[in-house]
Amino acid sequence: MNVSAHPNAQGSPLGKPAAYVDTYAPGLLFPIARQGKRNEIGIRADALPFVGVDSWNAYELSWLDPRGKPVVALGRFRVPATSPNLIESKSLKLYLNAFNQYRVADTGMLRAILARDLSAAASSAVDVAVMPLAARPARRSAYPGGFCLDTLDIDIDTYRPCPDYLRAEGAATSETLYSHLLKSNCLVTGQPDWGMLVVRYTGPAIDRAGLLRYIVSFRQHNEFHEQCVERIFCDLLARCKPSALAVWARYTRRGGLDINPFRATPGADGGWNDNDNEIRQ
C-alpha cells in the first residue's frame, strides 16, 4: 500500500524521500485523525469504551545550548487517547531531528516548545518530559507479571485478524497474559512493527490458545500501532466480556522512537507502567 492510498496521508512524509532539516520546523509534524479507523470497529467519538494514552519514547533528541554546545536527552511524550489526532511517527522523527542545530535557552524552554507543538498536532494537551543524559536518567527492562502465551504448543495458520479465536467461559478470574509475538505492519509503507502485547483482565477465563492465535493473526495486518491496540481491546471486550480490561503494547523502536499504546476500561490501569522497557526496546 502506498502513501497516496491512505485517506489521511496526503502531505505525509511516509513512503516518500525526505530532506534532512536540522533547524526548528514545527510544520514537519503530520497529524492523522483517529476517528476514521475507529469508525471501522464501531467506536463512537462521543462514547469511547476506554481510557488510555499513547506513550512515546524518543532516544535521539538533541539540540544546541546558547553557546552552541550540543545537549542530548531522552524524551517522553504522552498523547491522550481522547485526542482527535495521533501523530505520524516519521513526521515526529523529522521534527525532532530539526532541533539538532537549533539553539535553545534551557531544557525547560525546549520542553515548552515540544509541548506546544505536539499539543497543536494532536489537538489535545500532550505531556512532555525531557531528560538530559548528563542527569543520568534511568529506565528498567521488565517483564509483565503473568503468563507468557508464547510457551503454548499450538498450530497456527491464520495471519489476518480473526476475533473468532477469542472466547471466555467459567468463573470470574483475574490474570495477566502476554506475548512477544505481536507483529503488524505500517498502514502506509507495509514495513513491520514488532511488539509485546499484554492483556490484564477480570472476568470469565480467556482461552489462552485462542488468544495467542488471535495475537499472531495480526502478523500480516496493516494498521498503525495505536489502531491495532484499540482493535484488540474492542475485540476482547466484545467477545470475552470482562468486567475490567487493560490492554497495552510495547513496540520496538523505529527511527529512534518507540510507541506504547495503553487502553483500559475506566479504573482498570492493570499496573501498567510506561517507564518500563520491553527487553527489545
Last residue of a domain, one of 139, 167, 183: 139
Query: How many structural domains are present in the chain?
Result: 2
CATH of the domain at 215: 3.30.1130.10
d(CA 105, CA 96): 17
SS3 label, residue 107: helix
Instruction: Give yes or no: residues 125 and 165 share one domain.
Output: no
Instruction: Give yes or no: residues 146 and 251 share one domain.
Output: yes
Task: Provide the grid cell at 175.
Answer: 490474570
Give the pLDDT confidence of 5-21 residue by residue, as tens digits: 444 555 566 556 667 78
Q: Which of 54, 193, 235, 258 is catalytic?
A: 193
d(CA 153, CA 68): 57
Segment 197-217 mean pLDDT: 98
User: Would you state the pLDDT for residue 4?
Assistant: 35
Instruction: Give yes or no: residues 110 and 216 share one domain.
Output: no
Is residue 216 scored above 80 in pLDDT? Answer: yes
Any catalytic annotation for residue 240?
no
User: Would you state the pLDDT for residue 11?
Assistant: 58
Task: Provide the grid cell at 142.
Answer: 521488565
Q: Percent of the chain beyond pLDDT 90?
A: 86
Instruction: Give yes or no: residues 166 and 54 share one domain.
Output: no
Specify the amino acid at residue 256: G
Contact 167, 205 (CB under 8 A): no
Instruction: Give yes or no: residues 119 and 220 share one domain.
Output: no
Instruction: Give yes or no: residues 169 and 58 share one domain.
Output: no
Q: pLDDT tier at 29 (50, 70, 90 boundaries)?
A: very high
Instruction: Give yes or no: residues 86 and 179 share one domain.
Output: no
Instruction: Give yes or no: residues 77 and 164 share one domain.
Output: no
User: Would you state the pLDDT for residue 9?
Assistant: 53
Instruction: Give yes or no: residues 8 and 85 share one domain.
Output: yes
Q: Which of 117, 186, 228, 240 is catalytic?
A: 186
> Which has the minimum average pLDDT: 7-21, 27-41, 64-78, 148-162?
7-21
Instruction: Give yes or no: residues 23 and 103 share one domain.
Output: yes
Task: Name residue, grid cell 513512503.
Answer: 15
Mean pLDDT of all residues in the chain?
93
d(CA 133, CA 156): 44
Last residue of a domain, one of 88, 105, 139: 139
Instruction: Give yes or no: residues 71 and 184 share one domain.
Output: no
DSSP bridge partners of 64? 70, 103
Q: Percent of the chain beyond pLDDT 70?
A: 93
Give the pLDDT confidence of 111-147 residue by residue, as tens digits: 999 999 999 999 999 999 999 999 999 988 999 999 9
Q: pLDDT tier at 1 (50, 70, 90 boundaries)?
A: very low
pTM here is: 0.92
**Residue 151: which domain range?**
141-277
Instruction: Give yes or no: residues 183 and 80 share one domain.
Output: no
Any catalytic annotation for residue 186?
yes
Last residue of a domain, one of 96, 118, 139: 139
